[in-house]
Structure 1
Amino acid sequence: MISVGLDLIFWVLSIIAFGMSAWALFHATRTPVRAFAVTGKQSKRFWLIVLGLAALFSFASAVGYFGIGLGQLNIFAIASVVASGIYLADVKPAVSEIGKGGNQGPYGPW
């Protein structure tokens, strides 16, 4: 009974990890190349490769609970969450500011 509950929890976490990776990949594809260069972050190509692999591995981990993927929790699933987390916490806010225009202060528009 406990094993079924833990499997359900890890499956839900792997679905969340896939959603996080897919969201980061979607944002990276919609961001202009210039935004990455202006902010001094890695190139868009680098982030597309990293986030594409993260989405692939997190998806494989999520479907692994049905016996057709990578299996349950593995190092690739953890690396997917780390890569997506770095993009969403560090790169996304920096590149999102490029091209907004207007008078922006450190705490918002003024």
Structure 2
Amino acid sequence: MLLSGFGELLSWVQLALGVYAAAMLIDAAVRREDAYRAADKQNKAMWLLFLGMATALLFLLPFDAFLPILGLIAVIVYTVDVRPALRQVAGGGRGPRRGGSSSDGPYGPYNGGR
């Protein structure tokens, strides 16, 4: 009984990860091609291919197989490396630092104690 409950939990986790992979695929699709080159990342077509395959693998294969884990790794790399670089190149940063200079601190400009 415990094992079947764990299997059901794992299937819900896999579904959530598949939905997240699909969201990252949509995010990669709406980014501009030149942003990938400006951020010095691989091209847009490659990331669309990786994320599309990851989404398909997460929805079609059981999570205990090896390929969905590889797809999950591709989604994680896009999320923590490529996506922030694309947002920085496109000027889509978060928080109060948007539009500020590189010398801005958390409470405004830093002038070196002058």
Instruction: With the length of structure 2 as denominator, give the TM-score of the two structures.
Output: 0.78
RMSD: 2.0
Question: What do the CA deviations read for 1:11-38 (whole angstroms, capped 9, x no partner)?
Answer: 1110122022112101100100010000
In 2: Cα distance, 1:73 partner to 1:104 partner: 47
Q: Give the gaps of 5 or more residues in structure 1.
A: 61-69
Question: What do the CA deviations read for 1:25-53 (whole angstroms, capped 9, x no partner)?
Answer: 01100100010000100100100000000
Counterpart of 1:29 in structure 2 is 29
In 1: Cα distance, 2:32 partner to 2:85 partner: 12
Give aligned pairs, total: 101
In 2: Cα distance, 1:77 partner to 1:71 partner: 8
Cα 1:80–1:104, aligned 2, differ >3 Å: closer, same or farther? farther
Percent of counterpart pairs with the same letter?
24
Q: Which has the larger radius of gyration?
A: 2
Question: What do the CA deviations read for 1:49-104 (whole angstroms, capped 9, x no partner)?
Answer: 000000111111xxxxxxxxx33421111111100000000000000112328334
Cα 1:74–1:39, aligned 2, differ >3 Å: closer, same or farther? same
SS at the partner of 1:97?
helix
Q: Give the gaps of 5 or more residues in structure 2.
A: 92-97, 110-114
Counterpart of 1:105 in structure 2 is 102
Counterpart of 1:65 in structure 2 is none
SS at the partner of 1:22?
helix
Q: Which has the higher contact order (CA 8 A, sep 6+)?
A: 1
Structure 1 counterpart of 2:100, one-letter code: N
